[in-house]
Amino acid sequence: MCSMLFTSVSSAADRLLQFNRPADTPQARYVIELMSIAYRHIGYQLEVIDFNHQSALAAANSGILDGQLGRISTISQQYNNLNLVNFPLFEFNLILLKNCVTCRFEQLNNIAIQAGYPAAKNYLDNNPFIGEIIRVKSVTAQLNLLTQKKVDGVLLLDFLLKSKHPRFDVSTFSTEVLMPIRSFHFLHKRHKKLIPLLEQQLTLLEQDGTVDQLREKHLNH
């Protein structure tokens, strides 16, 4: 009896996947609900836990976390234990806010990016920047540096700016959309067998209208 109980508890634990809690945005709430449904359909439970965002990617790569809820496609180049679930969750823009109107990106003396979000770092890796790169912990810190003119510019994810500082007046700065980016779900390699099952479920959820309903619920307001 004890052996049977232990087996059932172990089995339940094996079907529980843990991910770090992302910043509370409409996009995050959409991804959590969508992925919770997809996992439930394949017999798994998604659990979101409080975890230091700055170290979440490294923790997922080492297997402490089971993956990442939503990240840009290129993270697996650095974190090669993370495997992409090939279904784009949502699209956002990487934007540049500048304190000068006519200066180009490559002419800026310094720029602030948010640590823990690889989109900005990835852009800088592919578009060499000779100025100083200042890494901060939050959008708030980026905007403070910008408004105090302590940096020439900041690289931001547009949905984080809108969610965290909806009243921030971007019209006082020069705004440039650098590139559109898509977000994907990632799993640690030990869960690789789940990827085709999730891709199939997400495709079915798109076909039956669930994805559109969730986007309308969370994103289109």
Domains of the chain are 10-91+182-218 (3.40.190.10), 92-181 (3.40.190.10)
Query: pLDDT at residue 115 above 90?
Result: no
Confidence of residue 13 (pLDDT cuts 50, 70, 90): low
Longest dimension (CA), the chain: 75
**Which long-range contacts (C-beta less than 8 Å, at least 24 apart) are formed by 213-218?**
214/30, 214/33, 214/34, 215/30, 215/90, 217/30, 217/33, 218/26, 218/27, 218/29, 218/30, 218/33
Higher pLDDT: 221 or 133? It is 133
What are 169's two structure tokens?
Answer: 């007046």
Does the pLDDT value for residue 65 go beyond 90? yes
Q: Do 170 and 95 touch, CB atoms closer than 8 A?
A: no
- pLDDT band (50, 70, 90) for residue 6: very low
Under the banding of pLDDT at 50, 70 and 90, the label for residue 9 is very low
How is the beta sheet containing 174-188 ordered, strand by strand?
A: 67-72, 174-188, 82-98, 153-157, 110-114, 132-136
The three-state secondary structure class of 129 is: coil
CB distance 188 to 66 below 8 Å: yes
The pTM of this model reads 0.84
pLDDT tens string 118-173? 889 889 888 888 999 999 999 999 999 999 999 999 999 998 888 888 889 988 99
The average confidence (pLDDT) of the chain is 91
Q: What is the pLDDT of residues 21-44, one digit of tens each?
A: 998 999 999 999 999 999 999 999
Q: Is 92 helix (H, G, I), strand (E, B) or coil?
A: strand
